Structure 1
Amino acid sequence: MSMIENKYDVVIIGGGPAGGQTARNLSQKGYKTLLVERYKSFYDNNFSSAGMTLEPLKEFNLPTKVIGSYWKDITIKCTEKEYDWFGEKPKGVVLDFGKLREFLAEESVFNGGEVLLGHKYVEKRVVGTEVEVDLLEAETSKIKTVKTKLLIDATGPLRKVMYDSKEEQPKMNLGSGTEYLIEVDQKTYNKFKEKLVFFLGHKWALKGYSWVFPMENRILKVGSGRTHLKSKDQENTDKSTKKITEKIIKEYIKPETYTLLDIHGGILRYCEGLNDTYYKNNVIAVGDAISAINPRGGEGIRYAMQSANLACDYIDVYFKTGQENFKEYEKQWKKKKLLKWRLSEVSARRMYNRYSDLQVENRVEFFQKHFSIDVLIDSLFNFNYNKMLSRVFSYLWMKLKYKFNNKEF
């Protein structure tokens, strides 16, 4: 066993938005923190479409240097038709995911925290009121052991810290995705530079959705995400998110020339009902380790960082009073998110797995005819459905008309 090299108040495993925000917050409060990232650079494994509204910039006090581009329009491309919503001014941003992660780590260091790159979490041991943590350095394969009062699981969908390798986890719904970062000619980039494009239906997506998001000049993010459930019309699509992504580049974007800059991918493991383990044996989970990503997709970075903020409030109380109240952390998170996440579970299951391509097309067309871009954004990113209820009778009447004509809706 290696010698214990350092002691901390909090060690955070995982340098994504949730882990970085946790380190940023707690170091600012004066706690001795260590942020551990398995890759040597925050630009490695750079998987996130990172599209969001403008509100999180102010909510988390994010600088302009982490912004890849601004967007004001949204296009939804279905199997047959394309539907557009236009804004008169910027409605949101696409973040540079690597720069965001780097910024949060730099903020932590500025506040007195430490960052350890190129180290992989191996295992933990609870010793009295503290936790010993073994970390493997990638280059040398040497084990570094640190001791901490609290250990944060910010490892995302893998939940590597909360659960030991052979420990049973709650039942999860699975998803995966692929994203290409490409540099295109100026003429092609100009077609996409101020809008988000989403794809639905099995011509362009596999039991999920695909996307084209603009970054800095001439750079586009092109990707596809899928759920691992059987769905209607799935035989009409290519068999992998990689092939779908390449198809979008070739048949939809149609660049005169392009250079492939990076390919990255990731997985999603979502626990229905937010029934994850939030706290156990001095370990606290944040971000995707508590299913912070919405099951329908959209603005996952924002909700990961919100979970970090909430967890930090209870960590601060714990250090100041010595009282564990992390069950309240779980309770408050569910109070804030559970209803919206449950509604999104139903919506995602129908849209991605139950509806045929024709039914998807009909619903998107109905939405375009009846709702503005602001209502669409509220639904896609904030998961608010209140304004949509005003059109429920129009929706039901449309369904009846289709049914009387023996057509799918």
Structure 2
Amino acid sequence: MKENVYDVVVIGGGPAGGQTARVLSKKGIKVLLVEKYVSFKLNNFSSAGMTLAPLEEFQLPESVVGAYWKDLVIQCTKDIHIWKGEVKKGVVLNFQKLREFLAEETLKNGGTVLMGYKYLSKKLIDNHVEITLQNSSNKELKKVKSKIVVDATGPLRKVMFDANEQQPEMILGSGTEYEIEVSQEIYDKYKDKLLFFLGHKWAIKGYSWIFPMENRILKVGAGKTHLKSLDQDKTDKTTRSITEKIISEYLQAKDYKIVDKHGGIIRYSKGLKDIFYKDKVVGVGDAISAINPRGGEGIRYAMQSGSLAAIYIQGYLETGKDNFKEYRKVWLKQKSKKWKLSEYSAARMYSKYSDVQIENRIRFFHKNFSIDDMIDSLFNFKYNNVLFRALQYSYVKLIYFFKNEKF
């Protein structure tokens, strides 16, 4: 077994891990980024729809953009609602190329990238962590030592928690996504749109979507929360069957080609009770629930967590002082209120609302909010306009009720 020594070892080459390694390596810190797949093509699981802001925020090149969108569309069981944009409002990133870019940046900055090795275990030895990795192909073991380890393994939190170790209570979610090649005619109908499905016909305890990618390529998927709900609990629908139904019945794509199929789970800590740091392990991305619980952007917030964690990792390496409680404190100050509002909204929309309630709610949004209001709510967690008008609407309904109710 070969052994190497690093300042920081990042386990997981997703957006959070890649951004952490990229930032640290740029600061001259000796970093190893470990990815369990031999190629980023083999783990292309994110739909990656977002606004334009992350392109500038993280200085992302045009090469990682799959497509731009300008219209926002929500299809309910009965009605469709379209918010038209006059200019580009956002992007759908190519998830594979994004992670490749972050890894290449790490290499360019002097870091090391190890592909095709999965994490097995860790052991505290003196002032270092000894990490055992295994080659995914030939099962060869490799040991590396690090002053600190970053857990970017996603919702399973494999590095932060040893096998069978108790974790905070989690809310579960799961999803399926097909990347398909369609006719030019079908692609042109959806190339400028982010299309979401709500309601019991096209979704179950969650939402479904159609996102554009490169010419003639669409991403079609469905996600669900594993929460108690109304009559949806009795259904035999799965996220796979919903995805296939959208392709066959909604898109009416007959001669499409499947480019890729993928799926995954989300384990989200309600109230953000995650462990951010323990025994020289720092969590980033999904390992600290850095994902919008209602939907929307997950990649942006994963990368933000990596950038923030890098500040405290650098401080630790320079001073030897553990200040990771501040990392958690700053993150919660920035996100916790917005996340709790998003949790509340998701629970109501996905597990409590009937079809009629969903239709009425989206109809109200369409009547009262512009596309920029909707983007602020869905992607940027700016609820001021939406909450104010929703409260006005609820007040009017309440007055109407008391005026017309007979006691």
Structure 1 runs of 4+ aligned residues shifted over 6 Å read 402-406
Match of 2:301 in 1: 303
After TM superposition, list the pairs within 5 Å mapping 1:44-59 onto structure 2. 44-59=42-57
Q: CA RMSD in A?
A: 1.5
Letter in structure 2 aligned against 1:228: H
Distance 1:246 1:394 in 2: 37
After TM superposition, list the pairs within 5 Å mapping 1:72-83 onto structure 2. 72-83=70-81
Deviation at 1:317, TM superposition (A): 1.1
Contact 2:176 2:222 in 1 (8 A): yes
Contact 1:185 1:256 in 2 (8 A): no
Letter in structure 2 aligned against 1:397: V
* TM-score normalised by L of structure 2: 0.97
Distance 1:405 1:326 in 2: 57
Deviation at 1:383, TM superposition (A): 1.5
Match of 1:116 in 2: 114
SS in 1 for 2:253: coil
SS in 2 for 1:136: strand
Deviation at 1:238, TM superposition (A): 4.7
After TM superposition, list the pairs within 5 Å mapping 1:175-190 onto structure 2. 175-190=173-188
Deviation at 1:404, TM superposition (A): 8.2
Contact 2:248 2:254 in 1 (8 A): no
Distance 1:236 1:209 in 2: 18
After TM superposition, list the pairs within 5 Å mapping 1:248-267 onto structure 2. 248-267=246-265
Match of 1:20 in 2: 18
Contact 1:179 1:224 in 2 (8 A): yes
Deviation at 1:235, TM superposition (A): 5.5
The 1:280–1:236 alpha-carbon spacing in structure 2 relative to 1, beyond 3 Å, is closer
Match of 1:158 in 2: 156
After TM superposition, list the pairs within 5 Å mapping 1:227-306 onto structure 2. 227-234=225-232, 238-306=236-304
Aligned pairs, number? 404
User: Matched residues, percent identical?
Assistant: 62
SS in 2 for 1:243: helix
Unaligned runs of 5+ in 1: none
Contact 1:181 1:262 in 2 (8 A): yes
Distance 2:394 2:308 in 1: 38
Deviation at 1:45, TM superposition (A): 2.0
Distance 2:209 2:401 in 1: 30
Contact 1:154 1:288 in 2 (8 A): yes
Unaligned runs of 5+ in 2: none
After TM superposition, list the pairs within 5 Å mapping 1:315-354 onto structure 2. 315-354=313-352
Letter in structure 2 aligned against 1:141: K
The 1:48–1:179 alpha-carbon spacing in structure 2 relative to 1, beyond 3 Å, is same
Per-residue CA deviations over 1:209-247 (Å, capped at 9, x if unaligned) read 000000000000000000011212316855200000000
Deviation at 1:256, TM superposition (A): 4.7
Per-residue CA deviations over 1:294-353 (Å, capped at 9, x if unaligned) read 111111000000000110011111112221100000000000000000111110000000
Deviates more, 1:96-105 or 1:232-241: 232-241
Deviation at 1:255, TM superposition (A): 2.2
Distance 1:166 1:389 in 2: 42
Distance 2:248 2:107 in 1: 43
Match of 1:201 in 2: 199
Letter in structure 1 aligned against 2:357: Q
Distance 1:236 1:375 in 2: 35
Deviation at 1:273, TM superposition (A): 1.2
Deviation at 1:402, TM superposition (A): 7.6
* TM-score normalised by L of structure 1: 0.96
Distance 2:226 2:279 in 1: 32
Per-residue CA deviations over 1:93-139 (Å, capped at 9, x if unaligned) read 00000000000000000000011111010000000110000001011
The 1:204–1:147 alpha-carbon spacing in structure 2 relative to 1, beyond 3 Å, is same
Deviation at 1:272, TM superposition (A): 1.0
Deviates more, 1:62-71 or 1:310-319: 310-319
Deviation at 1:10, TM superposition (A): 0.3
Distance 1:236 1:141 in 2: 44
Deviation at 1:389, TM superposition (A): 3.1
